[in-house]
Amino acid sequence: MQELIQYFTNISDEARAAFLISGLAFFFLLEFGIPLFKMEYNKTKHAFINITFTVITLIVNLFGAALILAAVKYNESNGTGLLNLATLPPWLYILLGLILMDLIGAWLIHWIQHKVKWLWKFHIIHHTDPNVDVTSGLRHHPGENIFRLLFTSLAVLVTGASFGLVMMYQTISAFFAHFSHANIQMPLAIDKAFSYIFVTPNFHKVHHHYIQPHTDSNYGNIFSIWDHLLRTTTSVNKMDEITYGIDTHMAPEENSNIKNLLMIPFQKYRAPVGSKFSD
């Protein structure tokens, strides 16, 4: 286990890129063989839109990486963070670190984005996708990525995670973003069994159903345990009941136009059906 932490401490940018690209390519190809839904859409054009957001995200992350590194160094210099309160065996250090970072750096900010109106306006872009597939996990407004980076840095400060553990968490998180959004069909029994601990494709697809209360549920990133413990789960009887998107932006000229998607947070707000937010 210690060797694993050491590996991610020294992981190169090329190795990280290889992990991310290979995971994306694997599920992209798998979607052709065992699709959950046979969606009629231009897969290449759809991927281009979502990958464009990733390119913008990479630019934002250049600045965010410095903030995360500063949080790591602060903990190293001061011995702060929950993981530094006691000497833990490596396996427990990794497990607790991943679970707590996932709670603060992913679940919490995701839940807040659904509860705070002006943050939701940035997060809407992710929900506008009418054809959820493996590339949908890349579809985030650059403004939203800033919020997520701030909470990732907060997670590092609270947990006291080492640089290697942070790199491991981000790599696993990227894998689950690909996995949970991928348009793949898993055996229902297997998906359901794993969904009590991990975020599975069927578990997360419910979050992308176009109306409430499904939109405000199943917030998990890697671990679904937080949704189960905090009672923020919901489900559908059959997966074919799901319609992707958000009911306020179902028109193609709005959900498939990069310029419009970037401008949505600054446009007049439209309240989804059943929303707690007013116009």
What digits encode the pLDDT tens for the residues 91-105? 999 999 999 999 999
Q: Which domain holds residue 81?
A: 2-6+42-266
CA distances in angstroms from 210 to 104, 180, 257, listed in the order given: 26, 17, 19
Report helix, strand or coil for 207. helix
Residue 63 reports pLDDT greater than 90: no
Are the C-beta atoms of residues 234 and 242 closer than 8 Å to each other?
Answer: no
Percent of the chain with pLDDT over 70: 99
The count of structural domains within the chain is 1
Angle at 91 between CA 168 and CA 14, to 5 degrees: 20
Question: In this predicted structure, what is the pLDDT of residue 279?
Answer: 61
Residue 30 lies in a domain: no
Residue 128 lies in a domain: yes
Report helix, strand or coil for 185. coil
Residue 240 lies in a domain: yes
Residue 100 lies in a domain: yes
Q: Which residues contact 48 (CB under 8 A, 6 or more apart)?
A: none
Neighbour count for residue 150 (Cβ, 10 Å): 15
Residue 134 reports pLDDT greater than 90: yes
In this prediction the pTM is 0.92
Question: In this predicted structure, what is the pLDDT of residue 278?
Answer: 64
- pLDDT, tens only, 19-53: 888 999 999 999 999 999 998 889 999 999 999 99
User: Which is higher by pLDDT, 10 or 89?
Assistant: 89
Distance CA 239, CA 203 (A): 10
Residue 133 lies in a domain: yes
Residue 95 lies in a domain: yes
Distance CA 256, CA 205 (A): 19
Residue 122 lies in a domain: yes
What is the mean predicted confidence (pLDDT) over 96-121? 96
Which helix (H) or strand (E) segment is 260 a member of? helix 258-263
Report helix, strand or coil for 11. coil
Q: DSSP label at 103?
A: I
